[in-house]
Amino acid sequence: MKEKRALVTGGAGFIGSHLAERLTELRNNVSVIDNLSITRNNVPVLKSKDIEVIEADITSYKKIFGYFKDVDIVFHLAAMNRAVKSINEPLLANEVNITGTLNVLEASRKNNVSKVVNISSSSVYGSSKAMPRMEDSILSPTHPYGVGKLASEHYANVYNELYGIETVNLRYFSIYGPRQLGTIEHAAVIPKFIYRIMNSMPIEVYGSGEQKRNFTFVGDAVECTVKASEANNAVGETINVSTIEEVTINRLISLLESATGKKAIVKHMEEIKGEIKENPADISKAKSILGHDKWVSLKEGISNTVEWNKNEL
Write out pLDDT tens, residues 265-301: 999 998 877 677 888 999 999 999 999 999 999 999 9
* Average pLDDT of span 17-26: 98
CATH fourth-level superfamily of 189-212+245-279+296-312: UDP-galactose 4-epimerase, domain 1 (3.90.25.10)
* AA identity, residue 150: L
Domain with CATH 3.40.50.720 in the chain: 5-176+216-242+283-288
pLDDT-derived band at 80, boundaries 50, 70, 90? very high
- Chain centre distance of CA 125: 15
* Average pLDDT of span 122-135: 94
Distance separating alpha carbons of residues 223 and 25, to the nearest angstrom? 12
**Above 90 in pLDDT, residue 81?**
no
pTM: 0.95
Where is average pLDDT lowest: 54-58, 217-221, 277-281, 289-293? 277-281
Cα separations in angstroms, 101 against 105, 119, 120, 133, 149: 6, 10, 11, 24, 9
**Above 70 in pLDDT, residue 313?**
no
CATH fourth-level superfamily of 5-176+216-242+283-288: NAD(P)-binding Rossmann-like Domain (3.40.50.720)
Q: Is 145 a catalytic residue?
A: yes
**Above 90 in pLDDT, residue 223?**
yes
pLDDT at 311: 87
DSSP annotation of 210 reads -
Domain with CATH 3.90.25.10 in the chain: 189-212+245-279+296-312
Per annotation, catalytic residue among 61, 67, 125, 145: 145
Per cent of the chain over pLDDT 90 is: 90
